Chain A
Amino acid sequence: MATIQKKAVEGVTDEMALVHAAKGGDLEAFSQLVNRYDRNIFRIAQHITHNEEDAQDVVQDAFLKAYQNLEQFQENSKFYTWLVRIAVNESLMKLRKRRTDRTVSLDEDVETEEGSMPREVADWSPNPEQLYGQSELGDILKKTIQGLPPGFRTVFVLRDVEGLSTEETAEMLGLSVPAVKSRLLRARLQLRERLARYFKSKKDGDGHQ
């Protein structure tokens, strides 16, 4: 999202001043950092946990942890990257708690090689977003991304929705760059495949099957 990237770039200089002040105990400075990133953290947490209550907890816990561990933050790296790493860890912990039947790992579900081969190859309607009302579209997008394994949707959200680089995403998730790239490709293709069911052109859609 352009606004986030713009925000990240133009805010870099005064951001360090805020972090520095917050380290020195300036709560107002920390409050400004919260205002700057709470929406992003909430979004990331919602995408990973799929639970609004959990996402609210993650927002609170992540900022509190950041505040308590500010001393450990190296000022030569980006505060946002550091914060997101904390939030991703908190989100995964929430997810693990809810899914008691099995552990949640960013490495799961990576073996589905054939799942990436496109089956829906009909073109989409010229303006697929206009086929549905805003809330219906929102439901489709939610339902679709929720069907992805956690490791895939986390990478997709960080890279494509929040606009982080492959390297930042890899660092944040403790994955290698090739692993992030492979998950991103699968995530993009799987989302495309699922969205195609809603968005493919009604007139000639079935002809290409």
Chain B
Amino acid sequence: MKCSDFLKELSDYLDGKISEGLKAELDEHLHWCHECDVVLNTTKKTIEIYRDNQIYELPDPLRTRLHDAIMSKCRNSKQHKKDV
């Protein structure tokens, strides 16, 4: 197996969506290919970092303001909704 073949399966490998047979082939490749092993581990870490560190949180005051605005618009649109 070439590194490019391994890369094609990287996502499915990370998501655990590959057959046992293919997994064995990929593991065999990982056993001797340090670079693919690093790519696998750092890609996994990349996903975890984005999952664990939410970079766009909604602050509470803004959340309240948006919520009020949404509900007010919904209330006003009620009549319109019936007309459509």
Contacts and interface: CB of A to CB of B under 8 A. Distances in A.
Interface of A: 1, 25, 27, 30-31, 34-35, 38-39, 42-43, 46-47, 55-56, 59-60, 63-64, 67-68, 116-118, 120-124, 128-129, 134, 137-138, 141-142, 145, 156, 160-161, 163, 181, 184-185, 188-189, 191-192, 195-196, 199, 208
Given A39-B57, A137-B53, A141-B55, A185 B45 contact: no
A56 B67 CA distance: 11
Chain B interface bracket (under 10, 10 to 19, 20 to 34, 35 or more): 35 or more
Contacts of B74: 27, 30, 63-64, 67
B58 interface: yes
B39 A64 contact: no
A141 to B, nearest CB: 5
B47 interface: yes
B56 interface: yes
A39 B67 CA distance: 11
B58 A145 contact: no
Contact of A1 (B12, B51, B55): B51
Contacts, number: 124
A38 B67 contact: yes
A34 B67 contact: yes
A98 B29 CA distance: 46
B62 to A, nearest CB: 7
B46 to A, nearest CB: 4
A145 B54 CA distance: 12
A134 B55 CA distance: 10
B50 interface: yes
Contacts of B1: none
Contacts of B71: 27, 30-31, 34
Nearest to A71: B81
